[in-house]
């Protein structure tokens, strides 16, 4: 089992290539995420954002290269070891990934019950589920099933399920896709809230540039319970642009906005005329 360099590095992709038949979904992608960092991954549909996150989670084994999760190489790790590593991270899937035959309580409690490495006593499960649902302001939905909730509420339950284990690393796959602007903003506030209250490392794949800008420029204030402008440059938020499975840009918000490349700049330009929601 190989160890990644640096104890602070929670996730490192080292020249990762993923192929599906003749199609190259990820092409020599290298990326790292340290404790407390935020990585905003952008790219057009089919550019490999979802594959990147699933590979990072160990759900897809790369054809070439290595993925180090908490310093452990996922290519050589057994499924039981991977499960232990996954208990230290959370993911929100693009489609929510909620189990439609289970109640919201069972959905959110699922990782606590099934991830043996968490060693969560059965009597604590309900309390922690309630806390996670209160965090996303859906504490009243315990007995409902996912089909009874709106799309935005399902995403929020997905966030509750991702954070219930108090992970060190959170991956969000297009959390605002297909949502109206107000609901999308609510979701982004929750993501920032989780990041800033617990110092979670965050990887966010998104189509919307404003989602990344919000994470780069705003901080959640636990006292006022609102997002506030951070003021000054934030070097802990990086922007990555994927194109046809390759990283075509990696840098800060300023660098992204300054890019003259027609493909890269189209991910920064839509925001120029749109103010961020307060």
Partner 1 sequence: MFDFLKGPILGIQTFFLLSGRAVVNIFRSPHYADDIAIQMDIIGVGSLLLILLTGLFTGGVITLQMARALNQYGASGQVGNIVAITLVRELGPVLTALLVAGRNASGIASELGSMKVTEQIDAMRALGTDPVQKLVTPRLLAMSTMLPALTIISDFMGLVGGYLVGSVMLGLTTPTQFWSSAYQALEYRDIAQGLVKPFVFALVIAMVGCHSGMNTSGGTQGVGRATTQAVVVSSVWVIVLTFFISKFFVDF
For residue 91, state whether it binds partner 1 (rule: CB under 8 A).
yes
Only one of the segments 6-14, 67-75, 85-93, 218-226 lies at the binding site for partner 1 (rule: CB under 8 A); that segment is 85-93
C-beta of 44: minimal distance to partner 1 in Å?
Answer: 19
* Residue among 80, 89, 82, 78 at smallest CA distance from 33: 89
* Shorter beta-carbon distance to partner 1: residue 20 or 233: 20
Q: Which stretch binds partner 1 (CB under 8 A): 107-115, 184-192, 237-245, 261-269?
A: 107-115
Distances (CA, A) of 34 to 11, 197, 236, 250: 7, 17, 9, 15
The answer to whether 86 contacts partner 1 (rule: CB under 8 A) is yes
Among 34, 35, 70, 115, interactor with partner 1 by CB under 8 A: 115
The reply on whether position 93 binds partner 1 by CB under 8 A is yes
Smallest separation (angstroms) from partner 1 to the CB of 91: 5
* Residue 184, helix vs strand vs coil: helix
> What is the C-alpha end-to-end distance of the chain, expressed in Å?
46
Asked whether position 263 contacts partner 1 by CB under 8 A, the answer is no
Q: Is 61 in the site for partner 1 (CB under 8 A)?
A: no
Q: Which of residues 159-218 bind partner 1 (CB under 8 A)?
A: 161
If binding is defined by CB under 8 A, does position 237 make contact with partner 1?
no
Select the residue interacting with partner 1 from 45, 79, 232, 260 (CB under 8 A).
Answer: 79
Examine residue 99 and tell whether it contacts partner 1 (CB under 8 A).
Answer: yes
Asked if residue 63 binds partner 1 (CB under 8 A), the reply is: no
Strands (E), the chain: 9-20, 23-34, 38-43, 64-69, 72-73, 89-92, 169-173, 201-205, 218-221, 226-229, 237-243, 246-251
Q: Give CA–CA dist 177/173, Å, rounded.
A: 9
- Considering only 116, 226, 229, 233, the residue that binds partner 1 (CB under 8 A) is 116
Which residues are within 8 A (CB) of 262 and not within 5 positions of it... i.e. 6 or more apart? Answer: none
Tell me how many degrees the CA angle 12-136-38 measures, rounded to the nearest 5.
25
Q: Indicate which single residue of 33, 98, 157, 160 sits in contact with partner 1 (rule: CB under 8 A).
A: 98
C-alpha–C-alpha distance, residues 44 and 42, integer Å: 7
**CA atoms of 254 and 179, how far apart (whole Å):** 27
Question: Does residue 39 belong to the site contacting partner 1 (CB under 8 A)?
Answer: no
Dihedral sign of CA atoms 186, 187, 189, 194 in order: positive
Among 97, 139, 151, 251, binds partner 1 (CB under 8 A): 97
Q: Which residues make up the interface to partner 1 (CB under 8 A)?
A: 54, 57, 59, 79, 83, 86-87, 91, 93-100, 110-111, 114-117, 161
């Amino acid at each position: 089992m190989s160890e990644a360099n640096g104890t602070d590095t929670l996730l490192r992709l080292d020249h990762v290539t993923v192929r599906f038949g003749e199609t190259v979904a990820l092409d020599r992608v290298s990326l790292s995420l340290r404790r407390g960092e935020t990585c905003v991954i952008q790219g057009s549909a089919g550019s490999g954002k979802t594959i990147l996150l699933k590979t990072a989670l160990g759900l897809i084994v790369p054809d070439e290269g290595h993925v180090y999760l908490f310093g452990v190489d996922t290519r050589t790790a057994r499924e039981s070891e991977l499960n232990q590593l996954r208990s230290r991270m959370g993911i929100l899937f693009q489609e929510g990934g909620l189990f439609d035959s289970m109640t919201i309580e069972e959905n959110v409690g699922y990782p606590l019950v099934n991830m043996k490495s968490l060693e969560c006593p059965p009597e604590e499960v309900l309390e922690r589920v309630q806390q996670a649902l209160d965090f996303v302001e859906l504490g009243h939905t315990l007995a409902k099933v996912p089909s009874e909730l709106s799309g935005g509420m399902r995403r929020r339950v997905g966030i509750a399920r991702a954070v219930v284990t108090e992970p060190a690393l959170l991956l969000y796959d297009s959390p605002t896709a297909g949502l109206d602007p107000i609901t999308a903003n609510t979701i982004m506030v929750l993501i920032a809230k989780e990041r800033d209250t617990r110092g979670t490392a965050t990887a966010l794949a998104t189509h919307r540039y404003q989602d990344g800008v919000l994470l780069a420029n705003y901080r959640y204030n636990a006292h006022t319970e609102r997002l506030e402008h951070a003021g000054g440059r934030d070097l802990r938020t990086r922007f990555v642009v994927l194109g046809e499975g390759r990283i075509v840009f990696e840098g800060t918000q300023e660098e992204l906005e300054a890019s003259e490349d027609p493909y890269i700049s189209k991910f920064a330009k839509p925001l120029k005329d749109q103010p961020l929601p307060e």
